[in-house]
Structure 1
Amino acid sequence: MGRTLRDILDSAARGQFPAADGGTTIVPQHGERDAGVIAFTAHAVVFTGEDPAWVRAQLAAADSDPLAAAMHPRFLTALLDRTGRRTDTIDLLTVASPLPGPPPLPLVEIDDPAHPRVARALEHRDEVRVWAADGDGRDRDRDRDNGSSVGTGTGVLVLGRGVAGRWEAAVEVDPAARGRGLGVALATAARHLAPAPVWAQQAPGNARAVRTFQAAGFRPVGAESLHVR
């Protein structure tokens, strides 16, 4: 297993995971913006700027099965309080390898830093690029030839560098366009546009998003609690 968070993530993207030994690895944050916990199968990784001895003491105080201690509410609360950070949900962490060739649908890049989706993405990622897909029927014949069922409506794909510099993708689809394959096409497009393995997080309760990314070839690798300022 690698000694840095980036090493660990690069190995996981190749299908090489930390030993399933019930342990916890503590590594420094890759940068100031992102801290948190990633739980792989029977092994957790805590990435933080806090003293490892303090982290291990809090893990022991969580009064939990060691396999679950790093994601236990008591530990996460202690870590958030200590660092003054916040978190939203514990996400399903998925990854997919890049694909050759052009994306499976026409995209128009949004080159406007003030655009709401661009501005929001820049809060969490670097080197952000955003594309819009218009499913108004202009490319319906080509979509049919490709086996796509994209219909009316629009969607957006966000791609940028997130935790430890990994490439991360996020997809938004207008309600009127849902259920027609546009989300899967956008998630697949991320694999064509990223120059390296691309990661995506989904809230486990968002079954639609989970199905979308898995249909696009993203495979689950763990759970992630991301802590931001």
Structure 2
Amino acid sequence: MSLRQILADAAKGVFPPPDGGVTVVAQPSPRDAGVLNLTAHAVVFADADPEWIRALLPPGDFSAPLNPPFLTALCERLGRQVNNIDLLTLAPALPGPPPPALGLALEPTKDRTHPRITRALHHREDVRAWTVPGGTLLIGRGVAGRWEAAVEVDPRARGAGLGRRLALAARHLVPDGEPLWAQIAPGNAASVRALLAAGYVPMGAEALLVRVRGGGAGPDG
């Protein structure tokens, strides 16, 4: 079983058994390592000895895979650092282009100097970006090749539903009708509400372990 297959199954509503177990799989790429917590089941995707990983996780402790002691040990083993612990959400694609009712004059951009786009290029391939007055929308292939969306709204444009409309537009723009994933920090309540309102549903929690800049593991993932 690969992480790609686990994610594809989850997108279809088929999840690992909620038994408190841990599934250890290989990294889907040299860039991507981390921990995915689904309901009462953890998936560790890391190029490390599975027995070593399981020895650090008390059986039946559902929270241990995303707790600091385990993440710290895994980071030390891999020469990485925890990026964040995110809420992982999913939404199905929607047909056709974004409807006029969204009121978005989306402009495709190839500008790679925008900080959000620069960050996306570290974590994703095939990045596509659009801008509107007050906001930016990005879609790219991230962990295990899944399509991921990211939205940024300028401070002066917040509070008017722009984030929700951009997140909804992303569902029309994802290629080939594939499911669209989005990660968001749980403490960013406004963005969480925007994603939920745009039809994204919580799937689990995820911590990505990124390569340390300037270290032997290479540039930031």
In the superposition, the TM-score normalised over structure 2's length comes to: 0.89
| Secondary structure of the structure 2 residue equivalent to 1:86 | strand
Q: Which residue is 1:26 aligned to? A: 24
1:55, distance to aligned residue in structure 2 (A) = 0.9
1:19, distance to aligned residue in structure 2 (A) = 0.7
Give me the whole-angstrom Cα distance separating, in 1, the residues matched to 2:89 and 2:119.
21
Amino acid at match of 2:2: T
Q: Deviations over 1:149-181 (max 9, x none)?
A: xxxxx1000110000000011100011111111
Among 87, 92, 97, the alignment partner of 1:97 is: 92
Among 15, 18, 24, the alignment partner of 1:17 is: 15
Q: Which residue is 2:192 aligned to? A: 210
Among 52, 60, 68, the alignment partner of 2:63 is: 68
Q: Percent sequence identity over matched residues?
A: 59
Q: Which residue is 2:180 aligned to? A: 198
Give ranges in structure 2 of 5+ residues lacking alignment.
212-221
Q: Which residue is 1:137 aligned to? A: none
| Secondary structure of the structure 2 residue equivalent to 1:189 | helix
Q: Deviations over 1:60-115 (max 9, x none)?
A: 4xxx8521221121111100111111113211000000000111322001112344
Q: Which residue is 1:146 aligned to? A: none
1:127, distance to aligned residue in structure 2 (A) = 0.4
Q: Deviations over 1:107-127 (max 9, x none)?
A: 001112344332221111000
Give me the whole-angstrom Cα distance separating, in 1, the residues matched to 2:20 and 2:113.
45
8 Å Cα contact 2:11-2:179 kept in structure 1: yes
8 Å Cα contact 2:35-2:206 kept in structure 1: yes
8 Å Cα contact 2:40-2:62 kept in structure 1: yes
Amino acid at match of 2:3: L
Written as runs of structure 1 = structure 2, the 5 A alignment for 1:135-214 is 154-195=134-175, 196-214=178-196
Give me the whole-angstrom Cα distance separating, in 2, the residues matched to 1:31 and 1:82.
17
Aligned length: 205
Tell which structure's C-alpha radius of gyration is larger. 1
Give me the whole-angstrom Cα distance separating, in 2, the residues matched to 1:24 and 1:130.
36
Say what the alpha-carbon RMSD is for the aligned residues. Answer: 1.3
Instruction: Determine if the alignment matches structure 1 residue 35 to structure 2 residue 36.
Output: no
Give me the whole-angstrom Cα distance separating, in 1, the residues matched to 2:163 and 2:113.
24
Give me the whole-angstrom Cα distance separating, in 2, the residues matched to 1:56 and 1:215.
38
Instruction: Determine if the alignment matches structure 1 residue 45 to structure 2 residue 43.
Output: yes
8 Å Cα contact 2:88-2:184 kept in structure 1: yes
Give me the whole-angstrom Cα distance separating, in 1, the residues matched to 2:115 and 2:38.
33
Give me the whole-angstrom Cα distance separating, in 1, the residues matched to 2:87 and 2:2.
21
Q: Which residue is 1:223 aligned to? A: 205
8 Å Cα contact 2:34-2:46 kept in structure 1: yes
